[in-house]
Chains A and B, each alone.
Chain A
Amino acid sequence: MFNYQQWLFIHRYAIRDIRRSYKKLWVIAITLFISLLLLSLTFSIKQSLNDEIKSNSVELLGGDVQINSGITPLSDERLLQLSKLAKVSQTVNFFTMLSKPGEGAVFTDLRSVDEHYPLYGVVQTEPAGAREKLLVETGAPAVLINENIQNQLQLKVGDELKIMSTIFVVGGVIVSVPDLTNSAAFGEFAIISKNEYDKFDLRTAGSFLHHDTRLKIPKSNDYDSIVDAVQSLLADDNNIRMKLPSDSAQSLRRIIDNFSNFLNLVSVSAMIIAGIGISNTLLSFINQRNTSIAIKKSLGFSSQTIQLIYFYEILVVLLSASIVAYAVGVLSPLVANLVIPASFGISLQPSFSLLDYANVAFIGLLVVLIFSIPSLYSIPSIEAAALFRNTFQSVNLHFSAKNILYLLILAAILVAYFVLQTRQQTLTLSYFFAFFVSMFVFYGVAKFLIFVLRQLPAFPNNTYKIAYRNIASKKSLAPIITISLGIGLTLLLTLSFVADNLKREIVQSIPSMAPDLFFISVNKDEKEPLEVFIRTLDSDAIMEFNPMVSATFVALNAKPIESLVSRDNRSHWAIQGDRRISWSVEPPEDNLIIKGEWWKPGNSEQMLVSMDSRVAEDLGINVDDEITLSILGREVVGIIKNLRQVDYRGMGTNFAIIINTAFAQQLPFEYVGTLKSEHPSGEIQSQVLRQFPNISAIKIDRILSKVGQIMNKIFIAVTSISLIVIVIGMIVIVSAVMVQTSLRKYNNLIYKILGVDFATILKAMTLEFAIIYLTLISFSISAAAFASYYVVENIFTLQWQLDWGLTLMLTASTGIVTFALILLANKNMFNPAVYPLIRNE
């Protein structure tokens, strides 16, 4: 169709045009830049967050796979097979007495570790490096103890300690170990070497031993296939339980899910906003150049060639914008590291990949293609004939049947390409759908406004007449302005509302997820004395105690639950290992019953169950289903009576399963509790432990600081992304303003020449803007409230709140900024000398 020479000409012409009039292209460039930046940021934030969570959860678990074989170690044969797949580390945990001659003894969670321990992270000790002493074979063996033991037995480094009948030497004090999750061990905790443990020869002693084998999968290998291989290796033994890192980050799951949902929403919006911006700026670009286009046509250039020149210009802009945007996106972690206070403990790594860039650029290309078609196809309607009559009418977006077909095909490709990359596909699809629907809605709003204005009687007032003519005339650009402004404003409001709700949840979660102490194994009779005692230490302490027993989820409607729920089910955690279940007479505060009914008191024969509605939904559990729980070794069948919305934001211990009190009272139970106090938690902990030696008090701030870190990160991400969203929202608005500028300038000048005074023109512009904006506000707020309600309540499963202050602030500031932009764009109207302006047009 075109030969090489012609392409060369198009290329040269486009480049020259860009060089000479880049000022007119900067809005397109900036729109593209910011939205592509946002796109690559969402991709890279998602990636780095996943990496962060993965590495944290791997550390929390202590390996890529944790294998618990209970009281027996794995057979040598199995270990050999495993060691072919990954690096293996074995630990054994058991409770035993540590005694210091003359000072007494403490019951301690003793861990024996091999030379590979820890596979991930480090054991921090005081003095540093004490972990190495465990490997020394000569002299008395070393033991590492924690602070509690040190305090209780008044030990220092070098002192002797007796375990079983062996004398150990204190090698150091443990400050932290990486794998905290399943060692409920911040009561009394000590580490010795596996060699020494083997010398105890407890194999036949029938003690209560926990054998854990952890694996570190080499980086280069395919993680999933190795996990599968490990799984099939162990499948034949029912006593072996396998745990993966994803199981250890449960407390974060929900927020992480919500956050990645939010990112999806944002990136879809960013593209759409950018698209509208491009289509508007391109249209105004074409309108500003309609003389040049007409001249080219009079010289015999075809519309196609002219379209290609402009399209080529946009592609060049796209290419540069995408490179810069991707580069900034890649480097942004470095900037973030500088900006985020070091105390958050966040360190982000920039990661560059050509594939990622291609991905961003390809999406950008599709968006540009889609949104430039209706603008570029306005070029054929610019006629060279205008040069003879000196009349240039502004052209509008062009939608022919052929165009619409192209648009549909391209939009389908974009949506498919984008949706296939996301995890929540139906959700992402519905975001796109909602956007297309709202486009039509706002088009309808524009037509409706024009219709209403035409029905109104003609006010005999100059201001009104001018405003009326601008909106309701045949060639009015009001529909485009209304759609752009409407979508821009709605997306701005929706995203702000969603971000606001998400931020609220995170803010509430950060303190609430950080009680200082966690009490377990609190005897029935000890609960009250413990509460009283803590009150004497800190009368303001916030405490919450719940009765509990441990239970394992065995079956659902008599089918083994493991066979019903796959490992990647969102709520798989609820069926894994021992869960704590609790009971109560009344439904817990804030827990809304969404299905079924709460039970009446009594009925001690039958176990009645109330279940977390989200877990129930994920596991396919319904009211009246029968579930089998194994409680203290006994299998009990219960009936699901209701589903409850659990508010995990509270500071208390939350239970996915609650049963009826009458039934539970027959069970031997204990209490678990949380404590939040202004006082140093270590002090309270040691006082409590001295007074109540049987209770385990766990200092959890160390575990939670990891959780807190991730939370902080998400919070910062949400905040900064909302700021960027506001910027791109503004860009659409700028572009909407620009579309009408050239036409309006001309009209205003004519009015001025005709002697309409400045005040009237200004008043007319204000009135026109007010009519459009006020119509839009009500639609936009309703649409945004509706959309954000849906997202927040149904997808994030949070409680939605509308912040009227925020709404008012956003709508008012958007209105003011937009109107200011309109005035700015028409600033030469304020120029008293009219004639020179016309000559320059």
Chain B
Amino acid sequence: MTMNKSAIQFSDVSLSYGTSDNRVEVLKGISFSINADEIVSIVGPSGSGKTSIIMLAAGLEKTSSGAIKINNEDITNLNENALSAVRRQHVGIVFQSFYLIPNLTALENVLLSLEANQKYNKDEEAISLLTEFGLAHRIHHLPSELSGGEQQRVAIARALINKPAIILADEPTGNLDETTSKNMMQLLFDYTRAQQTSLVLVTHDNDLAQQCDRIIELKDGNIV
């Protein structure tokens, strides 16, 4: 496996919702490829299909036509269980609303990502990552006891701990204030670079988009 192999590859992917008379065409045959150590941002007006791309890449949505490869594996026709396997091995997701499991502590939330991959008893690894994220004193707290920024740092740790090939982040800082956002993104950039993980970042923030290696701009379901 060489480093320049593509992590994500969309070939002529279309996505539409609804039945014939009431059809919404969200993506109209888009193609792009993201390399294994690339950081790419997706921008575009609301409703242009950014989230849809992330969902397709995560295997949480099925294409209407076209093919998607994750780590060179065609996932277009995989079943539910196989998609789960691809997701837990190669993909980390960061949501706008953090989505930590409310009755698990920060540490347990991070461990869960390892446990999905049958890696057990890796507490030390998780603790050291959380410590690097400045959460040493919050390891055993429940999400409800953490601030938004802290929650998002836990969520990023959860996505990274598994050393996935791809991180998908849909407006990860949308719920945070400016300084917190900046710190957060710095963290994310540093770690993805260090681990040579590809990052797909959906954002409305132009500054942020500019810091990425490449920008994919969407409009009306097409890449412009």
Contact = CB atoms under 8 A, between A and B. Distances in A.
Contacts of B55: 385, 388
Interface stretch (B23-31, B40-48, B81-89): B81-89
Nearest to A19: B103
A634 B70 CA distance: 102
A interface bracket (residues with beta carbon within 8 Å of B): 20 to 34
A8 interface: yes
A380 B61 contact: no
Interface string A632-659: 0000000000000000000000000000
A298 B83 CA distance: 10
Nearest to A384: B60
Contacts of B117: 300
A9 interface: yes
B102 A298 contact: no
Nearest to B52: A388
B170 A9 contact: no
Contact of A389 (B51, B91, B99, B115): B51
B112 A299 contact: yes
B22 interface: no
Contacts, number: 75
A299 B118 CA distance: 12
A834 B85 CA distance: 40
B61 A385 contact: yes
Contacts of A223: none
Contact of A292 (B97, B101, B115): B101
B113 A299 contact: yes
A652 B84 CA distance: 78
Q: Which of A13, A299, A389, A390 has the most CB of B within 10 A?
A: A299
Contacts of A9: 115, 118, 120
A20 B80 CA distance: 30
Interface in A267-323: 291-292, 294-304
Contacts of A389: 51
A299 B51 contact: no
A388 B51 contact: yes
Given A20-B103, A299-B87, A388 B116 contact: no
B58 to A, nearest CB: 7
Tell me the interface secondary structure of chain A in the complex. Answer: helix
Contact of A17 (B60, B85, B89, B103): B103
Interface in B95-141: 95, 97, 99-103, 108, 112-113, 115-118, 120
B200 to A, nearest CB: 13
Interface centre among A6, A385, A387 (most CB of B within 10 A): A387
A295 B80 CA distance: 15
B89 A296 contact: no
Q: Which of A291, A300, A390 has the most CB of B within 10 A?
A: A300
A389 B80 CA distance: 20
Given A301-B88, A380-B80, A388-B55, A296 B118 contact: no
A303 B84 CA distance: 9
B84 A300 contact: yes
A297 B101 CA distance: 12
A389 B95 CA distance: 10
B103 A298 contact: no
Contacts of A387: 93, 95, 97, 99
A301 B84 contact: yes
Contacts of B58: 298, 384
Interface in A364-406: 380, 383-385, 387-390
Given A297-B84, A380-B80, 20 more contacts: A5-B118, A6-B118, A13-B115, A21-B103, A291-B99, A292-B101, A292-B102, A295-B99, A296-B116, A298-B95, A298-B99, A299-B158, A300-B84, A300-B88, A300-B117, A301-B84, A301-B88, A387-B99, A388-B54, A388-B60
11 contacts: A3-B118, A295-B100, A298-B58, A298-B87, A299-B113, A299-B116, A300-B88, A304-B81, A385-B61, A387-B99, A388-B55
